[in-house]
Amino acid sequence: MWAEVPLWQQVPIPADVRSFEELESFVPKAAAAAGLDADKPLPFLVGGRQRLIEFHIVNRIGDGPHNMEMHKKIQVTFELENAITTIVGFHSTKHRGIFTPGDSNIHIHFQTPDNAKSGHIQKLQLGDRAILRLPASTV
Would you say residue 4 lies in a domain? no
Would you say residue 34 lies in a domain? yes
Would you say residue 2 lies in a domain? no
Would you say residue 23 lies in a domain? yes
CATH of the domain at 104: 3.30.1330.80
Across residues 63-75, what is the average pLDDT? 68
80 strand-pairing partners: 53
Q: Which of 28, 52, 47 is nearest to 111 (CA)?
A: 47
Contact 55, 120 (CB under 8 A): yes
Please say whether the dihedral angle defined by the alpha carbons of residues 15, 81, 97 and 100, taken in this order, is positive or negative: positive
Q: Please count the structural domains in the chain.
A: 1
Note the pLDDT tens digit of each residue in 75-109.
Answer: 789 999 999 999 999 988 664 555 556 567 788 99
Which residue range(s) make up the domain with 105? Answer: 9-135
Would you say residue 88 lies in a domain? yes
Would you say residue 1 lies in a domain? no
Q: How far apart are CA 69 and CA 47, in angstroms?
A: 32
